[in-house]
Structure 1
Amino acid sequence: MDWLIEPFMPIMIQALMFFYRLFGDNFVLSLALLTAIVRLLMVPLMLPMQKSARKQAEIQPQIKALRKKYAKDSQKQNEELMKLYKEAGISPMGGCLPMFIQLPIMWAFYRAIIQVLAFKPGDLFFGLGKYIASSAAFSDLVPLNSHFLWLNLATPDKTYILPILVAFTSWLQQKLSPTTSTSSGGDDQAQSMTQSMQITMPLMFAFITINLASGLAVYFIISNLVGIAIQYFINRGLPPAPQPAERASGKPKSKPSQQKRQGKSKGKRK
């Protein structure tokens, strides 16, 4: 995957170094600002994924019914599912393409953080250490000031506070995503898998950050917090998620005020 991220590496490293100098050698502030910028630039790629996930959650009862009806005829089942996706305006692979575009960018950012936390320019990968060391603008910045609060950002956090925060913020971000908030009442297997991932993924990220540089844990926490804020505003812009009863009937439930008005009109007719 290195050949995919190489074009983004110089941009990420130079941006980190620029903000590091701008904020008076404060690596955490430079990391926070660049993380926010990168995550905001990813929003146009996130929206199609979010909308696709919401639509798929809405048609889960129909999907479940088709799979049950054509359980013994996989070809017919696939044909009917594709027809259903087309009617609902869903591309089965539509949500995957933005993810594939995001991955190299986020991975390059991740690798850039590892590299700028190197103790000397020669420790940087991809030959960028030589490029930075020969740069008049950044040669005096390496090695970076990697101390923040009680942390040395180039070494693991021995207090385990950061891995715990990584797990919690990762879990909270997943809770806000449409795939988890609209999974109830749909495919039982998908629901079980979603609930399992909601626990295992945050724990996996926490485990990863136990033995890696604490600067990476800080990045994960900042990225998750920015992601939570972005997800909150995206959720406000998306149509409300259908409740299980609404999905089962395929029709939205009438609001209480509408039900009251209907009851009054029936009483007047009597």
Structure 2
Amino acid sequence: MDFDKRTIFAFVLIGLILILINTGFYQKIVDPKGYEQRQLQRTQRVEQGAVEPRGPAIQPRESSPAIENSDQDFSPVKKTPGIEVPDSLGEKKITIQTSLYKATMTSKGATILQWSLLNYLGTDKEPVELFTENSYNNLVVGFNTKAGDSLTTGDYHFMVDSPEEIKLSAQQEFVLKFTLPLGENREIEKIYTFRDGTYDVSLLINFKNLNQLIDDKQYYLLAPNGLASTEKNMKDEMTYTKAGTSAGGETKKDYKADDKAKKVAADLDWVAVRNKYFAFYILPRNRNSQYAEILGTQIAQNRTDKVKWKKYSLKLAMPFLGESNVKDEYTLFIGPMEYGLLKSYKKDMQDFLDMGAKIIKPFSIAILITFKWMHTFISNYGVILLIFSLLIKVLTYPLTLKSYESMQKMQTLQPKLKELQDKYRSDPQKLNQMTMTLYKEQGVNPMGGCLPMLLQMPLLFGLFIVFRTTIDLRGQGFIWWINDLSAPDTIFTFPGNFALPIYGNTVNILPILMGVTMFIQQKMSITDPKQKFMIYFMPIFFTLLFNSFPSGLNLYYALFNILSIVQQKYLTPKKPETALATTSKRKRRI
């Protein structure tokens, strides 16, 4: 294979790889099981209820215009024989605000009604809401009674004695106690402990004298509402909307949204739901779970983008030992999916993040850690990208230098290679043998020019993942119109449903800048007339392809191209015009 073909092949290969990572072909190779499940989601709607354990069942939600604002019916029994609940208790709402979040608790079911994160803004420039006003039934308790009835606490009003508004600061702590009397000296207590400066909340559930009431030696902790959507790009948001479980260090996060409940029989470290950037984890602390049940539903919304909304409901089955006083403790995490924060809990919670395939994951994590370290003394992530680009250029300069030298040597060999091709046209095997002999004599590595390019591919994928999936860059701007490095730098959106193939329906500046700088770099490096087509094709192709990519990734590649142009113009050694002749003369003297 001569130099011209290798160069074309290398550039086309990069383009094909970038395309393939978003195709079913690539997904089928790297994640065949997940691919098959996603295909089934799109092509069929299966019947509800593959798992039908006794107890309060998770029911698929009916279609509604906003998933995050509708309730799930767990069919609570308001009047259960043998249970006396005060009828005079009305709903009471309590607001707890810390430096990180604002939560609204309700006495109805003793649950979390609203939860907003104060340090993260939504599309309306208000704090993002992970649970909205209608998120009743989160963390309700359910069980079967020995009389054959099913009871959940979601429609019962607990007693609570607390101020309506509490503000915490400077690591303060507040304990909120809900009590549900059930007659005959029986009651359920739910005690929440809130602390300033952390996203986790402690939950203690205390069953008093219910050993003669609860059947099946188990009860259920239910979380049917999932998380509200927080991002503008709903297609992206739904891509990352998932449920996850972890048991014995193994994390599973490929549960289908197909209206069928999936039973996970294991001693779980945690069960969780997430959207693109935020998550809700439930971690049992003092007792092993019996199983979890995951129900994913998918609803077609009346939207021009035809995105199908997803949400996941959770049901955690816990053992009830038949004692007169049973206490179970949980840690609830409701907050950002920040790698270091999740890892600090030492429960593999960070594995719920999407950091790429096994071969790419180390690069993604290394890039993220480097960015976060640099962010401790540089506040602007755009500036960090500039420095990071320069750093990568410096580190790869020795390889790049060898690459240029190899390419120049290959160019000087072109006449000799042409002679060999003409001489051994009818004998491909001999041609290949003589070509390799020539390379060896001249000290040329035919793949030397591709090495720096190949080494940078993991960085490309790692950067793509970091900019697209990690919350650290969400909402982080650079200059002027670049206000979010995790999203395209859109300056114009085509009206209606108009969109260009590959390019999309938005006009973004940085992909164009990246394409222009690529064109200049190609024009400087490609001198062979047979490769002129590549000078124009590759920049146009990459501009179209990168248009929907995060602006941070486009900024990095534009900066990298600019640095490459400077390097080529001022730091690259001149072409060794007489290299081949000198080598030939030396051989003749010998």
TM-score norm. by structure 1 comes to 0.68
Q: Paired residue for 1:86?
A: 440
Segments of structure 2 that go 5 or more residues without pairing to the other structure are 1-29, 31-356, 492-507, 583-590
User: Residues 98 and 12 of structure 1: is their aligned pair in 2 closer, same or farther, counting only changes over 3 Å?
Assistant: same
Q: Paired residue for 2:523?
A: 175
Q: Deviations over 1:227-251 (max 9, x none)?
A: 222223432xx24354xxx89xx76
Give the CA deviation at 1:23: 2.1
Q: Choose from 391, 410, 430 the match for 1:76.
A: 430
User: Residues 215 and 102 of structure 1: is their aligned pair in 2 closer, same or farther, counting only changes over 3 Å?
Assistant: closer
Note if 1:27 corresponds to 2:381. Answer: yes
SS in structure 1 of the partner of residue 571 of structure 2: helix
Q: Deviations over 1:136-179 (max 9, x none)?
A: xxxxx6744236312333332334432221111011122333xx
Q: Choose from 201, 215, 234 the match for 2:538.
A: 201
After TM superposition, list the pairs within 5 Å mapping 1:1-270 onto structure 2: 2-24=357-379, 26-116=380-470, 118=471, 143-146=474-477, 148-153=479-484, 154-159=486-491, 160-177=508-525, 180-181=526-527, 183=528, 191-192=529-530, 194-235=531-572, 238-240=573-575, 242=577
User: Residues 115 and 18 of structure 1: is their aligned pair in 2 closer, same or farther, counting only changes over 3 Å?
Assistant: farther
User: Residues 113 and 223 of structure 1: is their aligned pair in 2 closer, same or farther, counting only changes over 3 Å?
Assistant: farther
Structure number with greater Rg is: 2
Give the CA deviation at 1:98: 4.3
Residue type of the partner of 2:517?
A: T
Kept in 2: contact 1:175–1:198 (CA 8 A): yes
Q: Deviations over 1:39-71 (max 9, x none)?
A: 221112222221111100011011111101211
- In 2: Cα distance, 1:46 partner to 1:110 partner: 22
Q: Deviations over 1:9-44 (max 9, x none)?
A: 2221021123234222x1211111112112221112
Choose 144-153 or 168-177, whichever is displaced more.
144-153
Kept in 1: contact 2:467–2:550 (CA 8 A): no
Segments of structure 1 that go 5 or more residues without pairing to the other structure are 119-140, 184-190, 253-270
- Higher helix fraction (1 or 2): 1
Kept in 1: contact 2:520–2:565 (CA 8 A): yes
Q: Paired residue for 2:292?
A: none
- In 1: Cα distance, 2:512 partner to 2:473 partner: 30
SS in structure 2 of the partner of residue 148 of structure 1: coil
- In 1: Cα distance, 2:481 partner to 2:464 partner: 22
CA-atom RMSD, angstroms?
Answer: 2.6
Q: Deviations over 1:163-220 (max 9, x none)?
A: 221111011122333xx14x3xxxxxxx42x222221111122112322222222122
Kept in 1: contact 2:409–2:576 (CA 8 A): no
Give the CA deviation at 1:223: 1.4
Q: Percent identity?
A: 30
Kept in 1: contact 2:515–2:542 (CA 8 A): yes
- In 1: Cα distance, 2:553 partner to 2:542 partner: 11
Give the CA deviation at 1:113: 2.7
- In 1: Cα distance, 2:475 partner to 2:427 partner: 62
- In 2: Cα distance, 1:91 partner to 1:19 partner: 37
Provide the aligned length of Structure 1 versus Structure 2. 210
- In 1: Cα distance, 2:479 partner to 2:386 partner: 13
Choose 157-166 or 196-205, whichever is displaced more.
157-166
- In 1: Cα distance, 2:574 partner to 2:411 partner: 12
SS in structure 2 of the partner of residue 86 of structure 1: helix
Kept in 2: contact 1:152–1:214 (CA 8 A): no
SS in structure 2 of the partner of residue 222 of structure 1: helix
Kept in 2: contact 1:169–1:224 (CA 8 A): yes
Q: Deviations over 1:98-123 (max 9, x none)?
A: 4433322343233323334x4xxxxx
Residue type of the partner of 1:38?
A: I
Kept in 2: contact 1:45–1:102 (CA 8 A): no
User: Residues 96 and 212 of structure 1: is their aligned pair in 2 closer, same or farther, counting only changes over 3 Å?
Assistant: closer
User: Residues 30 and 207 of structure 1: is their aligned pair in 2 closer, same or farther, counting only changes over 3 Å?
Assistant: same
- In 1: Cα distance, 2:523 partner to 2:371 partner: 30
SS in structure 2 of the partner of residue 156 of structure 1: coil
Residue type of the partner of 1:215?
A: G
Choose 85-94 or 63-72, whichever is displaced more.
85-94
Choose 158-167 or 200-209, whichever is displaced more.
158-167
Residue type of the partner of 2:490?
A: K
Choose 143-152 or 45-54, whichever is displaced more.
143-152
User: Residues 151 and 95 of structure 1: is their aligned pair in 2 closer, same or farther, counting only changes over 3 Å?
Assistant: closer
User: Residues 32 and 50 of structure 1: is their aligned pair in 2 closer, same or farther, counting only changes over 3 Å?
Assistant: same
Kept in 2: contact 1:48–1:98 (CA 8 A): no
